[in-house]
């Protein structure tokens, strides 16, 4: 009787152990971009690679900011309530001020240089971030342009204008240096601000420019690409510490399969289609000449020293590393 009882207990323990092994761990991922977007397509491939790594790791992702806005979900990721955060890099500057080095205007000469340099920047950025969060990947989210009710080709064209500028110190400094009056307006309220004259120009990327309807008032869209906006895939420190070596490898391997150049090309293709839609609604797309772009580039880079000096942390040293990496990555224009 005693032997049978012991055998029964052993069998029960074996079943419990097997159930524990078979049960996959699930990570919660906060995602700010909308469902059906090109950014979601990239994310779904990342999830597929993680879940196919054979380590019983699953990812539940929540698009459309379902878990909250980017600052709030980043805080939740750090505290451990969310496991993985995918969002825009500028949001990270509140926690890691050095990241502002990667948001400076005209940091990259063109797409070719960005494609080469951004993957190489990930390692020095990990060193700067330290143990605050675990950086898996830098992705491409968009490029920044200028739109207005009148053509804008050179910096002097916006002198004296009231301009909505996003919360990036480098962008704010550049447009102020051009003589514009910078106005802080939330994205959703900007189209109405254009209609009432509260602002006369905006620094929207193409998708926001069109999807918000801003193109109906600011009909001239100048493709400056003055900022290659980066996104980040981050794992919270508590989650990272709790993962096994195999689980960490599954996440880092999946991230290594993500190609920055392909994501940039995919976003550019979407932005091109979006702008085509805007032109049918009366918008005009302005492609600046090399000389005109050179004026913007000179202006944008002239504000770097002031922005870096005002930044907290070791922004200058990180920028020096970025510049050294860029020297290995020539632009298409030389």
What would the mean pLDDT of 218-239 be, rounded to a whole number? 96
Q: Kindly report the CA angle at 262 between 256 and 266, in degrees rounded to 5?
A: 135
| 233-255 residue pLDDT tens | 999 999 999 999 999 999 999 99
| Mean pLDDT of the region 165-192 | 95
Question: 1-12: b or e for each residue (b if 16 or more CB lie within 10 Å)?
Answer: eeeeeeeeeeee
- CA dist., res. 57 & res. 245, Å (int): 12
pLDDT of residue 6: 40
Q: What is the pLDDT of residue 39?
A: 87
Among 314, 334, 269, CA closest to 38: 269
- Nearest partner of 321 among 108, 121, 126, judged by Cα: 121
Q: What are 289's two structure tokens?
A: 């000449």
DSSP string, 215-233: GGTS-EEEE----EEEEEE
Provide the 8-state DSSP code for 192: H
Whether 226 contacts 292, CB under 8 Å: no
Residue 32 contacts residue 92 (beta carbons within 8 Å): no
Per-residue model confidence as pLDDT tens digits over 120-165: 999 999 999 988 999 999 999 999 999 999 999 999 999 999 999 9
pLDDT digits (tens, 9 = 90+) for 87-109: 998 899 888 999 999 999 999 99
CB 184 within 8 A of CB 202: no
The domains of the chain, with CATH numbers, are 24-142+230-268 (3.40.190.170), 146-226+283-326 (3.40.190.170)
Q: Give kind and range of the element (H or E) at residue 29.
A: strand 25-31
Rounded CA gap, 73 and 61, in Å?
12
**Cα separation, 276 vs 270, whole angstroms:** 10
What is the token pair recorded at 258? 């993500």
Cα(168)–Cα(89) distance, rounded to whole angstroms?
11
Asked if residue 107 lies in contact with residue 227, where contact means CB atoms within 8 angstroms, the answer is: yes
Per-residue confidence (pLDDT) for residue 52, from 0 to 100:
95
Q: Is 108 exposed, middle or buried (0-12, 13-18, 19+ CB in 10 A)?
A: buried
Q: What is the mean pLDDT of residues 285-304?
A: 97
pLDDT tens-digit readout, 17-70: 444 445 789 999 999 888 888 888 889 999 999 999 999 999 999 988 899 999
Quick: pLDDT tens for 252-286: 999 999 999 999 999 999 999 999 999 999 999 99
pTM of the predicted model as reported, rounded to 2 decimal places: 0.88
Which residues are registered as beta bridge partners of 139? 231
């Amino acid at each position: 009787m005693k032997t049978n009882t012991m055998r029964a207990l052993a069998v029960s323990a074996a079943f419990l152990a097997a159930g524990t092994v078979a049960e996959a761990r699930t990570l919660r991922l906060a995602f700010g971009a909308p469902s059906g977007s090109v950014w979601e397509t990239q994310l779904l491939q990342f999830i597929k690679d993680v879940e196919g790594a054979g380590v019983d790791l699953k990812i539940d992702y929540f698009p459309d900011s379902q878990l909250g806005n980017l600052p709030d979900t980043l805080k939740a990721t750090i505290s451990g309530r969310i496991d993985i955060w995918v969002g825009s890099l500028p949001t990270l500057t509140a926690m890691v001020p050095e990241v502002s080095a990667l948001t400076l205007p005209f940091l990259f000469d063109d797409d070719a240089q960005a494609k080469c340099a951004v993957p190489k920047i990930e390692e020095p950025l990990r060193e700067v971030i330290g143990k605050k969060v675990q950086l898996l990947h830098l992705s491409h989210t968009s490029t920044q342009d200028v739109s207005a009710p009148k053509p804008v080709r050179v910096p002097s064209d916006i002198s004296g204008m009231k301009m909505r500028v996003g919360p990036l110190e480098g962008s704010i400094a550049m447009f102020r240096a051009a003589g514009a009056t910078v106005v802080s307006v939330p994205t959703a309220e900007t189209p109405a601000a254009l209609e009432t004259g509260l602002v006369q120009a905006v620094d929207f990327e193409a998708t926001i420019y069109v999807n918000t309807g801003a193109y109906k008032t600011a009909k001239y869209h100048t493709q400056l690409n003055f900022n290659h906006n980066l996104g980040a895939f981050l794992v919270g420190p508590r989650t990272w510490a709790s993962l096994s070596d195999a689980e960490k490898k599954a996440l880092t391997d999946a991230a290594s399969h993500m190609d920055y150049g392909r994501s940039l090309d995919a976003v550019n293709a979407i932005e091109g289609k979006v702008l085509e839609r805007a032109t049918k609604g009366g918008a005009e797309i302005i492609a600046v000449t090399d000389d005109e772009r050179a004026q913007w580039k000179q202006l944008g880079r002239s504000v770097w020293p002031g922005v870096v000096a005002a930044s907290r942390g070791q922004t200058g040293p990180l920028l020096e590393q970025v510049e050294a990496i860029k020297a290995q990555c020539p632009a298409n224009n030389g």
